[in-house]
Homo-oligomer: A and B are copies of this chain.
Amino acid sequence: MYSRRMAGVKMSGGVEWAVHCCVVLSQADGPVPAQRLAEFHGISRTYLAKHLQHLSRAGLVTSTEGRIGGYVLTRPAGEISVLDVVLAIEGREPAFRCTEIRQNGPLPASPAACRRACGVARAMHAAERAWRDSLGAVTIADLGEGVLEDAGPDTFVHLREWLGT
């Protein structure tokens, strides 16, 4: 079940789930349990719970335990970027890690030459910075507005009704 074979190669599929959940949370009136979020998106409840725990540990959401518990955003949706969510799920480590192979072999780079990072690493890190800047410029609130544009102004009204069920 739920064998969707999400991203496959590189980005964890849980990122997509987490971002969509944040959009839902931004439109909810109270705490929304993982059960409800999973049901709404038609995805695995147990696995989504793992990702929500990551969001909790990253400080993006607070969880209330007990009978009517669930998740609530800790900040206004306009102050939570897509990058925040991605980093919470995927981790904060850069995708590219330089192994300094320039220091290997018969003609290793001198320590003096290694004062600056390797040119390859500089290019990779600059690209990642551009990627992060782009994701950091989009907020959960922006995504919510996009949904309204695409699906109509009543969309979140219906969502709130269903959440209240």
Contact = CB atoms under 8 A, between A and B. Distances in A.
B8 A93 contact: yes
Query: How many identical chains are in the complex?
Result: 2
Given A82-B123, A133-B130, A134-B127, A102 B20 contact: yes
Contact of A158 (B6, B41, B107): B107
Interface of A: 4, 6-11, 13, 15-17, 19-20, 39-43, 82, 90-91, 93, 95-99, 101-102, 104-107, 109-110, 113-116, 119-120, 122-124, 126-135, 138, 142-143, 146-147, 150-152, 155, 158-159, 162
12 contacts: A8-B93, A10-B11, A10-B96, A20-B101, A41-B105, A42-B105, A43-B104, A119-B142, A122-B146, A123-B138, A127-B135, A131-B134
Given A8-B97, A39-B105, A42-B105, 19 more contacts: A10-B96, A16-B101, A17-B101, A20-B101, A39-B106, A40-B105, A41-B104, A41-B105, A42-B101, A43-B104, A110-B151, A119-B150, A120-B143, A123-B135, A123-B138, A123-B142, A128-B131, A129-B134, A130-B131
